Amino acid sequence: MSEALAVVGTAGTDTSVPAVSGARQFWRRLRAQRAALVAAAVVALLVLVALAAPLLTALEGQDPTTYHPTLIDSARGGVPLGSLGGVSADHWLGVEPQTGRDMFARLVYGARVSLGVSLAATLIQVLLGVAMGVAAGLGNRWVDLVISRVTDIFVSMPLMIMALALLAIVPSGFPRPVLVALIISLVAGWSTVAKMVRAQTLALKNLDYVSASRLSGWSTWRTATRELLPGLAAPVITYAALLVPSDISAEAALSFLGVGVQPPTPSWGQMLTSADVWYQAAPQYLLLPALALFVTVFAMTVLGDGVRVALDPRAASRLRVGTGRKREARARAAVPGDAPRKEERP
Amino acid sequence: MRQPSVIARRVAAASVSLVVAAGAAACGPEDSDAKGAGGDSTPHKGGTLTVLNAQPQSDFDPARLYTSGGGNVPSLVFRTLTTRNRENGAAGAKVVPDLATDTGRPNKDATVWTYTLKKGLKYEDGTPITSADIKYGIERSFAPELSGGAPYLRDWLVGAAGYQGPYKDKKGLSAIETPDARTIVFHLVKPEGEFPYLATQTQFAPVPKGKDTGTKYESHPVSSGPYKVVKNENDGEHLVLERNTHWSAATDEERKAYPDTIDVRSGLDSSVINQRLSASQGADAAAVTTDTNLGPAELAKVSGDKELAARVGTGHFGYTNYLAFNPKVKPFDKPEVRQAIAYAIDRSSVVNAAGGSALAEPATTFLPNQKSFGYTAYDPFPAGASGNPAKARELLAKAGHKNGLTLTLTHSNSKDFETSPEIATAVQDALKKAGITVKLQGLEDNDYRDKIHSVKTEPGLFLAHWGADWPSGGPFLAPIFDGRQIVKDGANFNTGQLDDKSVNDEIDAINKLTDLDAAARRWGALDKKIGDKALVVPLFHPVYKRLYGKDVKNIVISDWTGVLDISQVAVK
């Protein structure tokens, strides 16, 4: 961890290296990993699809809530008529059993909920976690004690049970996606961020440049924002990148349990819930949201790992493919002391 | 308190539905008994019938069981004064004598009912069954520790309101007289022409006083029926029944009792039950279920397979799923708003959400579409198959909601295809076309039930369902529309909070009738009259589809239970 800090930490302090070089270095290392690039492209595409959902469905000429009773076989439990779950020029991915709602429209609108909720949850987790962690690390003994014990309590909270309890007592008028995002971020995640940030803060606190800042009379706030935060960026960004996929899964799990977003708003988790019994009669109904969820979580995980490696080049990637480690190693051998040069890349 | 969900579930739990025609088809080519092209569809004695169920037969005590017509598995062990007719379809909705020689002899105003027991009735130990045992069986159902049955006996018998059962109160119920060992007389507080229906419930099974072990009786209740309990594990999770050699077919016209052994295995997941029945391997070839329907997805799979489709039984149980209004909540106080919703409803999409045309039939009447209930076809707010949004908008404009309105629909979050989100979403979609924006309020199932059954918390618009304790208009209409049954504190089922003197009076008048056919016609007319008030919007009547094993024969499904009657089934 400390090596990683040193990399970005140097960028934050006024040493001989120009301030931009940290970001540039990071970008170069990220680009060197093919898998991370592909993952980034996939994530970008998913975000784009989610943002453009109304546009895409308009292009298809459908919407996610309209029933199409003529496209299903009512006498056979409402199974979609036609092959592959009713795939046609009008319905690119077929229709939903029992309702005939358009699968493509539901899938792309579902992306909005799944991605929106998880990104919002991650943002809250990171902000809250950093604030609490830094406060605990820089505060006096009592502040540290209280914050640390509260953090411990939240670390040990079981997400699903707490979520079920909270969702039961919150008035139903409260917008569900916001509520789900809040629950995921408040119950889970932030506490682990806080613990990690506190530990980092304690380590950084005693480094010379931080001590210098404090001794020269800067306020705690200024010390935290100017000296500590840049040093914390690497581990926090790394952790956040890995939190996103876990938050997507949490949203899906909550919706799967029927306590996530409310119908008719589609979400992938909710689609999976109603589809689980259809795996034999209409497999695509289950496979489409499952595939979407898998691709998203996988891409996010690979990207997260790529970010981690780029911020911390000396730590080995957990992934064994497409990380560009071999190439980087070759490049290092050729040009000692730095990352590969641009012209050496294929 | 008549808990509709309890009734529905218990009754559903006592039910299996199979078609008669499938009886012949039950012998597939793999069947070793098959003789020639048609196969041998004649039922024979012997073999073991396996019952694969989700709900265990818990509290297997005649005092504690809540059944319709005596239940399915319980009816193999407990005989009652009367019972349901074990025939297919509408004929099966009739009440027939069981231990008694007839369905009961009423006095002039139907407040006194007299029964005479058949001769030669015996328990599993060979001792004779007496009328005092039936009286004792009813009395012990009043004991607080043996609660669970339907509330009618307490409501109907003279002096029964505060009775605490024979353990505390040795004198017994004076409302029941047993002048001799074969005669039993019931004195009621008010005329009840439907008393013979009540006498089908297991509380009317004889219990020998000397063998009564109180709460422990359920582990080995003394059998009066064709089978006795030889094993009861984990409170009814695994029940093994074997022949009661003292039971005589000569005194019992209703139960066929073909298999030698009945092996009831419960606590299974519904998908596991359907998977095992469709595979029909080993002992499962002679298996049925009395509580698990095919869901929409399972039906889609089964209907695509000829061999499986031939092993599906279809039945109808008197049951209605509907949209309920609370007219005390605005804007549902305005009849035009309620009527507009009735016009806007798209029953085809609701039926699809409930599992499609094979699993649900569109309903425009509150009474189930069966003759025994007094079904009278009517449709006061004709919405057609897919709704009449234009007419709905017109009515809304009349009520002062020219620019549409926004409503909240309360439903349960359980996955039952009855009051679940699928149905609510279909309603939401239909009302959208009439300019009504519906917000969904999905509640956890218990929370939902508590809310809709309390006058204090009852929402304005919610999904509801109702099933009757027996196939007649009385237990269907009275709890929902009798103004005197509005419960201020506690569980209230008159959710429309209707208190109309003419309706109340008509209910009293029909209860006096002992001619059940005449009563049925009047229930039908009353249903039509209430229907005009638009206090509910009937949505659909469910249809039961159930699988049974390859070797199962002699399938009988009555309209009383809507499910395969295991007293008729043969596996040889």
Q: Which residues of chain B have pLDDT under 50?
A: 1-39
DSSP state string for A140-188 = -HHHHHHHHHHHHHHHT--HHHHHHHHHHHS-TTS-HHHHHHHHHHHHT
Q: What is the length of chain B?
A: 572
| B window 244-283, beta carbon within 8 A of A | 271
- The pTM for the full model equals 0.80
List the single best residue of A68, A101, A270, A277 to mutate versus B (max B Cβ within 10 A).
A277
B418 at the A interface (CB within 8 A)? no
Q: What is the mean pLDDT of residues A100-124?
A: 89
Mutate to test the interface with B, among A102, A262, A284, A285 (most CBs of B within 10 A): A262
Nearest CA in chain A to B297: A278
pLDDT band at residue A328 using 50, 70 and 90 as cut-offs? low
**Residues on chain B touching A171 (C-beta within 8 angstroms):** none
Measured distance CA(A1)–CA(B294) in Å, rounded: 57
For residues B534 and A292, give the distance between their C-alpha atoms in angstroms, rounded to a whole number.
45
Percent of chain A with pLDDT over 70: 81
**pLDDT tens across B136-162, in order?**
999 999 999 998 888 889 889 999 988
| Alpha carbons B244 and B226: distance in angstroms, whole number | 5
Q: Out of B355, B425, B426, name the one closest to residue A77 (CB).
A: B355
DSSP β-bridge partners for residue B323: B463, B537
pLDDT of residue B194: 92
Q: Mean pLDDT highest for which of A57-61, A263-267, B351-355?
A: B351-355
Q: Are A191 and A151 in contact (CB under 8 A)?
A: yes
Q: What's the pLDDT score for residue B15? A: 36
Distance of CA A156 to the CA centre of its chain: 21
Residue B252: beta bridge partners?
Answer: none
Distance CA B323, CA A201 (A): 59
Whether B471 and chain A come into contact, CB under 8 Å, resolves to no
Report chain A residues whose CB lies below 8 A from the CB of B429. Answer: 65-67, 264
A66 in Cβ contact with A109 (< 8 Å): no
Cis bond before residue A264 (omega within 30° of 0): yes
* B180 torsion bin: left (phi>0), alpha (psi -120 to 50), beta (else): beta
- CB distance A263–B421 less than 8 Å? yes
B425 in A contact zone (CB under 8 Å): yes
Contact status of B114 with chain A (Cβ, < 8 Å): no
Residue in chain B lying closest to A73 (CA): B356
Give residue A327's pLDDT. 67
Smallest CA-to-CA distance from B280 within B552, B4, B558, B555 is with B552
- Return all residues near B503 (Cβ < 8 A) that are at least 6 apart: B481, B482, B483, B526, B529, B530
Which tens digit of pLDDT belongs to each residue from A75-96? 888 888 888 888 888 888 889 9
| 3-state SS, residue A313 | coil
**Residue B443 in contact with partner chain A when CB distance is under 8 A:** yes
Question: B239, B256 in Cβ contact below 8 A?
Answer: no
Q: Is the pLDDT of residue A72 over 80?
A: yes
Q: What's the pLDDT tens digit per position in A21-46?
A: 567 777 888 888 888 889 999 999 99
Which residue in A77, A172, A274 is closest to B300 by CB distance? A77
Partner residue opposite B429 with nearest CB, options A67, A168, A259: A67
Judged by CB atoms closer than 8 Å, whether chains meet at B442 and A97 is answered as no
B-chain residues near A279 (CB < 8 A)? 297
Cβ <8 Å between B426 and A172: no
**What's the ipTM?**
0.76
Any A CB within 8 A of B442 CB: yes
The whole-angstrom separation of Cα A208 and Cα A16 is: 16
Assigned token pair, A26: 């990071």
CA–CA distances in Å: residue B311 to residues B64, B317, B542, B548: 33, 19, 19, 6
Q: Does B214 touch chain A (CB under 8 A)?
A: no
| The pLDDT of residue A12 is above 50 | no
Q: What is the DSSP string of B192-223?
A: -TTHHHHTTSGGGS---GGG--GGGGGGSPPP
For the stretch B329-355, pLDDT in tens is 989 999 999 999 999 999 999 999 999
